Amino acid sequence: MNKVKHITFISMIAALYFATCFVQGGFASGAIQCRLSEGLTLLSLFIPDAIIGVTIGCFIFNVFFSTVYDAIFGTLATLIAGILTYLIGKFIKNDYLRIILGGLPPIILNAVVVPLILIYGSNLQDSYFYLFFTVMVGELIAVYLVGSILYFPMEKLLTHLSLINKKKQKNRE
């Protein structure tokens, strides 16, 4: 794949992440949140450029609409989750198992990290387990519902655009 395709794909994912969060308004951050754009993390299962795009989109949204803690640590959690999701995708080839296992890093990391960001960045004391639960539920919805809906059509589109080679992937199974 050429450099222009890489940059274009990364930019599209970053813009889609940001735009989805922006349209969601208050539901994209806060104590009760469900960033539907987190479903894009499952794209990391078959293309590493998605890691960069999701991370950049997350960073830009957090810089403009959240705290400095979220811009740093929330973005870092997203980056690590994307890398772990990609690694799962490299080793697990069954699509349904990939979705289930690949969704765990963003769900778990955000459920652990985001409550700390909210507690220290927004001064919400003594609420870690409540925030852990609300963030985890939001991530479950975003990653497994939205991510699963996006997974198969995006895989077909990316194969069609020659961003991924599905035949090469299938041969590794």
Q: Encoding tokens for residue 1? A: 């794949």
Whole-number average pLDDT of the chain: 91
Task: Map residue 164 onto helix, strand or coil.
Answer: coil
| Mean pLDDT, rounded, for 27-56 | 94
Dist CA 139 CA 105 (whole Å): 10
pLDDT for 105 equals 98
pLDDT in tens, 80-90: 999 999 999 99
pLDDT for 140 equals 97
pLDDT over 50 (residue 47): yes
Output 27 or 13, whichever has higher pLDDT: 13
pLDDT over 80 (residue 169): no
| Mean pLDDT, rounded, for 54-67 | 96
The CA angle 51-142-30, to the nearest 5 degrees, is 95
| Mean pLDDT, rounded, for 51-62 | 98
pLDDT for 167 equals 58
pLDDT over 60 (residue 166): yes
Tell me the pTM: 0.91
Task: Map residue 139 onto helix, strand or coil.
Answer: helix
Output 169 or 35, whichever has higher pLDDT: 35
Residue whose token pair is 């993390």: 41
